[in-house]
Each structure stands twice: as C-alpha cells, then as structure tokens.
Amino acid sequence: MLKRSLAIISILIIGYWLAQGLAGVPFGEDKMLVGHYYLQHVKEQTGAVNAVTAIVVNYRGFDTLGEVTVLFIASTGVGALLWRKKRGRTARTEGSVVLTTGVELLFPFIVMFGAYIFIHGHLTPGGGFPGGATMATAFLLLYMAFTIYEIPHKAFEKVEGIAGMSYVLVGLIGLAIGGYFLFDWIWQTWHWGSDNIGRLFSGGFIPVIYTIIGIKVGTELSGIVDNMLKEEVRE
C-alpha cells in the first residue's frame, strides 16, 4: 500500500512536470521548419506524392536502414533465445471447419492487400512496414488455424537475407552513381516516370525499396511468430 501511494505521488509529480514542459508547445499551430521544405519540394525532388514515405525512404533513408537493422537483430535474437535442438508445433486442438476454411479463403486476399500497401507506398498511406506486417498477419492466421502448419523455412530465410542485401545494394548503386549512399538514382539520374507523378510508375526508388522492405518485414515477423509458437519436443 505504501509502495503504491508513493508510486502514485511520484507519478503525479512527473506528470505535472511534463505538462508544464508541454505548456510551451502550442497544440495545432504551425511549428514546421524543415517540414515546409519537405512538403514544398517532395514532388519534384523525389517524385512521390506521400510526403511521409518520401521522408522515410529518401530524405532520411539512414533511419530506415537502421530500423530494418533493428528488426533484423530482433528476429535473430528471438531465434537465438528460443533455440532448441528439436522443436515443433505442439498444438493439439484443430480449429473448427469454419475457421480453417475461412482462413484458407482469406489468406490470398490478405497477402494481396499487403502487397498492394507496400507497392503503393509513394501514393497512399502505408508503405513497407504496414504492408509487411499485413503479410505476416496472413501467416499468423495460418499458424492459428492449423495445428501442423509451418512456414517454408529454407525459402523464407533466404528471401529475408536477399531482401536485406538488395536494400544495401540499391544504396550502394546510388553511391556509385550519385556520390552518396542511398542516392535516388532512378529519379535523379534516369528521370524515370517524371511525367506521371501521382501514378503507379513514378516515385523514383521508393516503390523498389518499399517492396524490398515489405518482403523483408513480412518474412521477419512470420519468422518471429514461428519461433514463438514452437515448443521443445521430447521423445
């Protein structure tokens, strides 16, 4: 009881302090400095309509590279922490017929929608990470509905590694052509798609990189789910 009341008092003090600090930050007013530059120049500099994805992939591409690295380390870490010699699915209750049939019917649609999200990252809300998470949801559904399902490991792990390498490769091609890492060579050197901004075939290398990231995130999250759902098998 003493501990709880102490915690509540200190939390109220911290909350008051945070609120005092935020009182100097007005809500709903224009506080943009760099944001104006991005919004003004996003169309001619990157070819993307969606300013957020243009910032994530193009202006601040290093952030995304670090983010992909964090996710990769997390999936490797989950695999290393839960490593056993013999592991398998130990679920016993099969889902009902309605559930399994429903999942079988839904699976291609969810995968298609995930692919739609990451291919249209430069036009609509979304991008590689939401698209990849949607695809991983499809595989999670398969895991939940069937007692014996496992992702095809060999293909998945290879695809994940190849996707990660091709992201760095796209950046290195930019280094060779434009002089710095993650230079948008498709847009600024080739001017490819510069006359149809706002349509699918534009946006420089944003759709390319987001396709790579979407595949990588999808396989990685499915791998994390796979690692967490398996248990040790004892003979």
Footprint of other proteins (CB under 8 A): 3-4, 7-8, 11, 14-15, 18-19, 22-23, 25, 27-32, 34-36, 38-40, 42-43, 49-52, 55-56, 60, 63-64, 66-67, 70-71, 73-75, 77-78, 81-82, 123-125, 127, 129, 198, 217, 221, 224, 227-228
Q: Which is nearer to other proteins, 1 or 176 (CB)?
A: 1
Positive/negative CA dihedral, 39, 40, 45, 46 = positive
Q: Which tokens is 228 given?
A: 């967490």
Distance of closest approach, residue 14 Cβ to other proteins, in angstroms: 7
- Alpha carbon distance 165, 90 (integer Å): 34
Return d(Cα 206, Cα 122) in angstroms, integer: 6
Closest CB to other proteins among residues 22, 175:
22
Which SS3 state, helix, strand or coil, does residue 95 take? coil
Contact 143, 225 (CB under 8 A): yes
**Minimum distance, C-beta of residue 148 to other proteins, in the bound complex (Å):** 21
Could you tell me the smallest distance in angstroms from the CB atom of residue 128 to other proteins? 10
CA-atom Rg of the chain in angstroms: 23
Q: How far is the CB of 101 from other proteins (least distance, A)?
A: 30
Report whether 142 contacts 107 (CB < 8 A): yes
What tokens appear for 195 in the block? 């006359």
Least distance between other proteins and beta carbon 77 (Å): 5
- Pairwise CA distance, residues 80 & 84, whole Å: 9
